[in-house]
A and B are shown apart, each in its own frame.
Chain A
Amino acid sequence: MTDAVTFRGVSRHFGTVKAVDEVDLAIRDGEFFAMLGPSGSGKTTCLRLIAGFEQPTAGRIEIFGERAEGVPPYLRNVNTVFQNYALFPHMNVLDNVAFGLRVKGVGRAERHRAAEESLELVELAGYGARRAGELSGGQRQRVALARALINKPRVVLLDEPLGALDLKLREQMQEELRKLQRALGLTFVFVTHDQDEALSMADRVAVFAGGKIQQIGSSEDIYRRPASKFVADFVGSSNVVPADLAGVGAAGQWASLRPEDIILDASGREATVTGKFFHGRVTKLSLNVNGQSLTALIPAHETTPEIGETTHVSWEPSRAHLMEHEA
């Protein structure tokens, strides 16, 4: 099967800034692919390279096997949901959604019917006559999605689409996006700086830093087996500790240790509690073990020590993951 998008040695430099630097990437047909990284890591530039808003300085981009370098955005069957939705303020919702058909010369009645269908798909049927300014953030998000889907693109690009939404709405939209992507069987490429969002939604995740991909893998791979100290740090919540302390390698190497794998154990190592945060199902403890800071998640039914107290903790060395490269 042809991959949806492939990058071979793709670079995009802005003067001396290497926004994207020799990236190799293969996004499979029909997958939900997340590009995760801090701001300035090159993930958004990669998305823009797929959309055609940027052209690579070097390398080769293929979309379903066809060369895409030098091809302007309007000749690519790829559509984008923009970060701030970029809805046209001088058009109502229906005309916004129908825009992609209008530029193709589809007649008014037909394109409005198609736009209405597209709005139904995102559960906004009947909102056509409203202006973008009259909608809530979540509704604008859906309009942007309906607009991006109307041309029946081969790849849908989403640039931090949920960033502006509040937590509850974001979780709901995550679920709906995922459902929609499965139902349509389309390739979705999703840019986010939110680790939880990337891990929970995507089939596969690429972690970006400094214009390069640090690791590509399934969510579980990234979470359980981070390839580098950077990935472990960024994907977050994981403790990055010297390998000898974790009990899986020699000094100088690094290992990742999940906070939920650390348990209170009277026969374990001595640890000082430096912070305690109640999270409902779990209690998060900040610990100091031999000068090394560790975070532990303790199930709520266990009694936890107070700040300043000394306790004992342990972990199964096999749960710690030794990281292959240094970064």
Chain B
Amino acid sequence: MSGFDTTQPAIFTPRSGPLSRTVDWVIRHPRMFVFLMVLPITLWLGIVYIGALIALLIQSFFSIDEFSGIVVREFTFKTYGELLRPYNLDIILRTVSMAAAVTIAAAVLAFPIAYFAARYAKGKWKALFYIGVMLPLWSSYLVKVYAWKLVLAKEGILTWLFAKLHLTWLLDGLLSLPVIGGNSLSVSYTGTFLVFLYIWLPYMIIPVQASLERVPGALLEAASDLGATPRQSFRMVLFPLALPGIIAGSIFTFSLTLGDYIVPQIVGNSRLFIGQAVYTQQGTAGNIPLAAAFTVVPIVIMGIYLWGARKMGAFDAL
């Protein structure tokens, strides 16, 4: 046959050099390959992350001596008792309600955007979608929050816009509502909610989009073909299949809101959220055990949340 050199060996000579030989050896030992790949992440998660969590947990079972302000390194539930005082319970309830509201609103807002991106956006429209969603993440979080403070302020653009649209009565009505109202949006829970929603929204859109991307269009056609109205298709097929993505997104929005201490500090009234409580307790108050106990709250809540989601079959479609 022409073009084929039959004098060529069937097996080529082994590669030389220590790196090449090590690589060749690892390739021949797949288990070693896997081991080397997971080693860094195991060290990171196992020692740095889990280790820190355990240290935190231990701290929360210590208490503080009220006179000297020194941490007493003895096992006690005293700090948790302190955590359950009405004032601290209010902080927890406030934070959890805010996190839940932000998560639900983010899911409702994210779904249509993610659906559009997964189903209809192609080529440059898809690129535009990714840029549009990710772009806000490129700028500093602090800058965005301060920008929102100005937007929401009494003299801000939103008040001006409502006035121009002759809707000042609507804004005033909203602000006069109990709990969610206030002197202006920037010092109300509504303002805090809007800023949280804005800064965490991308973390909901991306996982929902990824989960919708994996739902073949034929499944929706099949549902429709079998007689499901658009509403039924959504409820019985699309939503259950997107649920793992929504749960993934809600883990971000929920836990990020639970732990944040900057947004409520800048936009909102003076009532504390968990993050601020932790900040105050470990800083000014110097009560490390109580700060640790506060930090355990979001961890426990997320644990319960994930366990409940699993029970309800949120991960069945995975």
Contacts and interface: CB of A to CB of B under 8 A. Distances in A.
Interface of A: 51-53, 72-74, 78-80, 82-84, 86-90, 99-100, 102-104, 147-148, 151
B225 interface: yes
A103 B232 contact: yes
B316 A147 contact: no
Given A90-B241, A90-B316, A103-B236, A82 B221 contact: yes
Given A72-B224, A80-B225, A99-B226, A86 B236 contact: no
A151 B218 CA distance: 19
5 contacts: A52-B224, A100-B226, A104-B227, A147-B222, A151-B227
A89 B216 CA distance: 11
Give the residue among A79, A84, A90 with the most B Cβ atoms within 10 A. A90
Contacts of A89: 219, 241, 317
Given A79-B226, A82-B218, A88-B237, 9 more contacts: A51-B221, A51-B225, A74-B225, A86-B216, A86-B218, A86-B219, A87-B222, A103-B227, A103-B228
A88 to B, nearest CB: 6
Contact of A74 (B216, B229, B240, B317): B229
Interface string B207-230: 000000000101101111111110
Contact of B221 (A73, A78, A87): A73
Interface pairs A-B: 10 shortest CB-CB: A86-B218, A100-B226, A86-B222, A73-B224, A103-B228, A90-B317, A80-B225, A103-B227, A103-B232, A74-B227
A151 B221 CA distance: 16
A31 B237 CA distance: 33
A54 to B, nearest CB: 10
Contact of B236 (A80, A82, A99): A99
B171 to A, nearest CB: 41
A74 B216 CA distance: 18
B120 to A, nearest CB: 15
Nearest to A100: B226
A88 B225 CA distance: 13
A84 B218 contact: yes
A90 B316 CA distance: 6
Nearest to A102: B236
Contact of B224 (A74, A84, A88, A90): A74
Given A88-B237, A103-B236, A79 B219 contact: no
Contacts of B236: 99, 102-103
Interface in B272-318: 316-317
Contacts of B225: 51-53, 73-74, 78-80, 148
Q: Name A's interface SS.
A: loop
A51 B226 CA distance: 10
Contacts of B317: 89-90
Contacts of A72: 224
Contact of B240 (A51, A73, A83, A90): A90
Contact of B226 (A53, A90, A151): A151
A28 B234 CA distance: 35
Given A86-B216, A90-B241, A103-B236, A74 B222 contact: no
Interface residues of B, number: 19
Contacts of A83: 218
Nearest to B241: A90
B308 to A, nearest CB: 18
A147 B219 contact: no
A100 B232 CA distance: 11
Given A74-B229, A99-B236, A103-B229, A86 B221 contact: yes
B226 A103 contact: yes
A99 B232 CA distance: 11
Contacts of A86: 216, 218-219, 221-222
A73 B229 CA distance: 9
A99 B317 CA distance: 17
Nearest to B317: A90
Nearest to A157: B225
A88 B232 CA distance: 14
Contacts of B218: 82-84, 86
Contacts of B223: 88, 99, 103
Nearest to B218: A86
Interface string B60-75: 0000000000000000
A150 B316 CA distance: 25
Contacts of A103: 223, 226-229, 232, 236
B227 A88 contact: no
Give the residue among A52, A78, A88, A104 with the most B Cβ atoms within 10 A. A88
Contacts of B216: 84, 86
A276 B220 CA distance: 49
Contacts of B221: 51, 53, 73, 80, 82, 86
Interface string B226-248: 11110010001100110000000
Given A99-B236, A102-B236, A103-B236, A88 B219 contact: yes
Contacts of B222: 80, 82, 86-88, 147
B31 to A, nearest CB: 27
A71 B317 CA distance: 31
A18 B317 CA distance: 38
Interface string B185-224: 0000000000000000000000000000000101101111
A158 to B, nearest CB: 12
A168 to B, nearest CB: 26
A88 B223 CA distance: 9
Contacts of A82: 218, 221-222
Contacts of A100: 226-227
Contacts of A148: 225-226
A73 B227 CA distance: 7
Contacts of B316: 90
